[in-house]
Amino acid sequence: MATDTQLDLWEVFIQSKSGLPYIHSGSVHASDVKMAMQNARDIYTRRGEGTSIWVVPAKHISASNPDDNDMLFDPSNDKIYRHPTFYVMPEGAKNI
């Protein structure tokens, strides 16, 4: 039993319409890239969900460590000048 293989884990990203971002849809198991691509197509685009597919071996994806969230994400909280709503426009100014 311990020797059983369920092949490698791949992550699947689907673009639902051209121009839109690729969004993580889920995973598939496959032994090679062709199989991963076909499996992704058979599993995640059965209802016309996609126009384009990316498959990536799961082992090549690195995720940020939640313990670093303070360091990574909090510092941007006070940089309100990065948002357009920070700026005061004179009344009557349009399309700016």
Task: Note the residues at the interface with another protein (CB under 8 A).
Answer: 1, 4-7, 9, 25-32, 34-35, 38-39, 42-43, 46-47, 63, 65-67
Instruction: Read off the tokens for 19.
Output: 């121009």
In single-letter form, the type of residue at position 90 comes to P
Name which of 30 and 53 has its Cβ closer to another protein: 30
In single-letter form, the type of residue at position 24 comes to H
Q: Closest separation between CB of residue 81 and another protein, Å?
A: 28
Angstrom CA distances, 36 to 12, 30, 32, 39, 50, stand at 9, 5, 6, 5, 15
Q: Closest separation between CB of residue 87 and another protein, Å?
A: 32
Name which of 17 and 83 has its Cβ closer to another protein: 17
